[in-house]
Amino acid sequence: MPRSQGFQGLRGVMRFVSVLLSSFMLAIGVIMAVIDATRTIAARDWVFTPLGETWRATWPSLLASLETSLKASGVPFLWDPLMLAILNAPGWAVFFVLAFAFYAIGWRRRRPDYFTHAYH
């Protein structure tokens, strides 16, 4: 097997994994959006659940260990302005952005066929 075919196979697998992760992120984002929409209708006011609040409710030990590791990494701005801004954003918005990013990574541009368009 030539080396280029192996690389193309790996590229296809990574594209598949990226699109699969995009689908999972989109599903989580839709679930979080539906939960926020339900709370908004019940409260008759805009309700956006921050990602940090959802994360603390589901897996608080992971959030605490992430905070500890980012603060100890020697780059404190990763936690204070960056992660806190992400954690204060609505969870559905964060997951929609992640879904778009993973989909964009896995997207393959179609090559135009220059010889067949003249005959249509």
Residue 108: pLDDT band with limits 50, 70, 90: confident
Closest CA to 36 of 24, 25, 26, 46: 46
Residue 112 pLDDT > 70: no
Residue 1: pLDDT band with limits 50, 70, 90: very low
Q: How is the chain split into domains, by residue range?
A: 9-47+92-108, 50-89
Residue found by looking up tokens 């590229």 in the block: 11
Rg (CA), the chain: 21
Average pLDDT over all residues of the chain: 87
Residue 118 pLDDT > 60: no
Range list of H helices, the chain? 3-43, 51-58, 60-72, 84-88, 91-106
pLDDT at res. 42: 95
Residue 2: pLDDT band with limits 50, 70, 90: low
% the chain with pLDDT above 70: 85
Number of residues written out for the chain: 120
Token code pair at residue 24: 């999972």
Residue 14 pLDDT > 50: yes
**What value does the mean pLDDT take over residues 15-37?**
96
Contact 19, 89 (CB under 8 A): no
